[in-house]
């Protein structure tokens, strides 16, 4: 009997030894993976406490703050720069163009659940030292790029800053920080080409001609919404194309989703989250109702909305981002900016003479872009907090 038990006991002991060795190997492998993760994450500084955004995947362990909900409060220490900044285009220099009031420059965004740090140019430049940040989109993203350049350029000595151009892109270089703040024109993200008889074709599934300028960038900030909803009169294309199929009419939101999905696939396939951060800024609201005059002569933000309207473009964008593998940060500026009907150039999109100022309604009113200094400065304060 003893001879029978001894082999069984030996087999049992051997089983436990093998199991123990396997457990130790798994533990060592886990520590090795954790070490790799920590090493990979070290390339970017941690986010500031209390700051987070909507992501494609939520991490419940993060302390979050919804910076998109809050109120505008008067702050006499604003603006953070003046309209003499040499990098501003003439269409957004409302003070130089004769706008008589300046209170629109004095409003600071105050989130309900946390504080939004005041923009600090030296801290921002330190965060992106030896890195490239690129804003990609339409003329309103150009609006934001001009704001960001003006926010930082004042701390950089003359002769140590310059602007260069490359195709649809332009870059502000801060030489001592070995960094660049760039803008790349791609209002639809996907490709718009000329076909036979000069017909304009919007390719819903092609993007590389635009995306080749985005490669190698450390921080990419995207926006794309307005051009997708232009009326037939102002549409930028004659046909849609997907694969070999060509269409004259598609529901704008269906086309928008297809275009965003092409962008999302490119990001998932071509970018490495260990090296690149991607932020998608939600659509900037227009105040164009009442024949484009809703923003004219407005001097105060709205205090609140009787009901919050979520634009269809934002719903589509959220759905596309949530399906992505790459961790995209969705920066929601739509509702907070919708309160600021006072912040647009209106008729002060160009300089007017004295006679013209007496009858400003003779000119078209721009209720889409933003006066600078102004609302996009707050978007850039949010962007800095995200980095």
The pLDDT value recorded for residue 365 is 80
Reply yes or no on whether the pLDDT at 31 is more than 50. no
Q: Which of 381, 346, 348 is nearest to 366 (CA)?
A: 346
| Cα–Cα distance for residue pair 322/373, rounded to 1 Å | 33
The pLDDT value recorded for residue 19 is 43
DSSP one-letter code for 287 = -
SS3 357: helix
- Scanning the chain, the segments in alpha helix (DSSP H) are 2-41, 121-127, 139-153, 208-211, 252-270, 289-292, 312-322, 334-338, 354-358, 375-386
Reply yes or no on whether the pLDDT at 169 is more than 90. yes
For 57-72, what is the mean pLDDT?
66
The 8 Å CB, 24+ separation contacts for 256-259 are 256/225, 256/228, 256/229, 256/313, 256/316, 257/316, 257/319, 257/320, 258/204, 258/205, 259/188, 259/189, 259/190, 259/202, 259/204, 259/224, 259/228
Which tokens sit at 116? Answer: 């939004």
Give the burial class of 48: count Cβ atoms within 10 A of its Cβ; 0-12 exposed, 13-18 middle, 19 or more buried: middle
| Cα–Cα distance for residue pair 286/334, rounded to 1 Å | 10
Which tokens sit at 204? Answer: 């819903």
For 250-268, what is the mean pLDDT?
95
1 pLDDT tier (thresholds 50, 70, 90): very low
Chain-wide mean pLDDT for the chain? Answer: 82
Reply yes or no on whether the pLDDT at 280 is more than 90. yes
| Cα–Cα distance for residue pair 58/328, rounded to 1 Å | 11
pLDDT single digits (tens) 100-130: 999 999 999 999 988 899 999 999 999 999 9
Reply yes or no on whether the pLDDT at 292 is more than 70. no
- pTM tops 0.75: yes
**Parallel, antiparallel, or unpaired for β 169-174 and 179-185?**
antiparallel
| Cα–Cα distance for residue pair 70/113, rounded to 1 Å | 8
| Cα–Cα distance for residue pair 344/131, rounded to 1 Å | 32
**Residue 18 CA: distances (Å) to CA of 10, 27, 100:** 12, 14, 83
Which has the minimum average pLDDT: 63-67, 179-183, 237-241, 374-378? 63-67
Alpha carbon 179 to chain centroid distance? 19
| Cα–Cα distance for residue pair 98/370, rounded to 1 Å | 15
**Secondary-structure breakdown of the chain: helix, strand, coil percentages, each rounded to the nearest 5:** 40, 15, 45
51 pLDDT tier (thresholds 50, 70, 90): very low
45 pLDDT tier (thresholds 50, 70, 90): very low
**Residue 310 CA: distances (Å) to CA of 188, 288, 333:** 21, 17, 12
DSSP one-letter code for 377 = H
Instruction: Provide the annotated active-site residues.
Output: 139, 366, 369
């Amino acid at each position: 009997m003893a001879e029978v038990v001894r082999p069984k006991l030996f087999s049992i002991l051997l089983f436990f030894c093998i199991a123990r060795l396997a457990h130790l190997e798994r533990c060592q492998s886990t520590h090795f993976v954790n070490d790799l993760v920590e090493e990979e994450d070290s390339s970017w500084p941690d986010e500031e406490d209390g700051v987070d955004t909507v992501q494609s995947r939520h991490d419940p362990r993060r302390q979050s703050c919804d910076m998109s909900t809050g109120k505008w409060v008067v702050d006499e220490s604003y603006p953070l720069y003046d309209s003499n900044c040499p990098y501003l285009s003439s269409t957004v220099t409302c003070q130089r163009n004769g706008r008589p009031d300046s209170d629109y420059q004095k409003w600071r965004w105050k989130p309900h659940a946390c504080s939004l740090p005041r923009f600090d140019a030296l801290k921002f430049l330190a965060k992106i030292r030896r890195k490239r940040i690129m804003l990609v989109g339409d003329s309103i993203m150009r609006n934001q790029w001009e704001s960001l350049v003006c926010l930082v350029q004042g701390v950089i000595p003359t002769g140590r800053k310059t602007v260069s151009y490359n195709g649809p892109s332009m870059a502000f270089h801060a030489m001592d920080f070995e960094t660049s703040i760039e803008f790349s024109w791609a209002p639809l993200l996907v490709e718009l080409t000329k076909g036979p008889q000069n017909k304009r074709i919007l390719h819903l599934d092609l993007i590389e001609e635009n995306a080749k300028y985005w490669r190698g960038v450390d921080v990419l900030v995207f926006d794309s919404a307005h051009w997708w909803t232009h009326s037939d009169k102002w549409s930028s294309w004659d046909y849609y194309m997907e694969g070999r199929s060509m269409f004259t009419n598609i529901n704008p939101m269906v086309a928008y989703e297809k275009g965003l999905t092409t962008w999302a696939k490119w990001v998932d396939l071509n970018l490495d989250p260990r090296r690149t951060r991607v932020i998608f800024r939600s659509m900037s609201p227009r105040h164009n109702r009442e024949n484009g005059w809703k923003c004219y002569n407005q001097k105060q933000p709205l205090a609140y909305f009787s009901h919050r309207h979520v634009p269809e473009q934002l719903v589509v964008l959220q759905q596309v981002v949530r399906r992505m593998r790459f961790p995209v940060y969705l920066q929601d500026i739509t509702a907070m900016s919708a309160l600021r009907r006072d912040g647009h150039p209106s008729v002060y999109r160009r300089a007017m003479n004295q006679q013209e100022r007496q009858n400003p309604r003779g000119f078209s009113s721009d209720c889409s872009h933003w006066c600078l200094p102004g609302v996009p400065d707050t978007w850039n304060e949010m962007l800095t907090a995200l980095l």
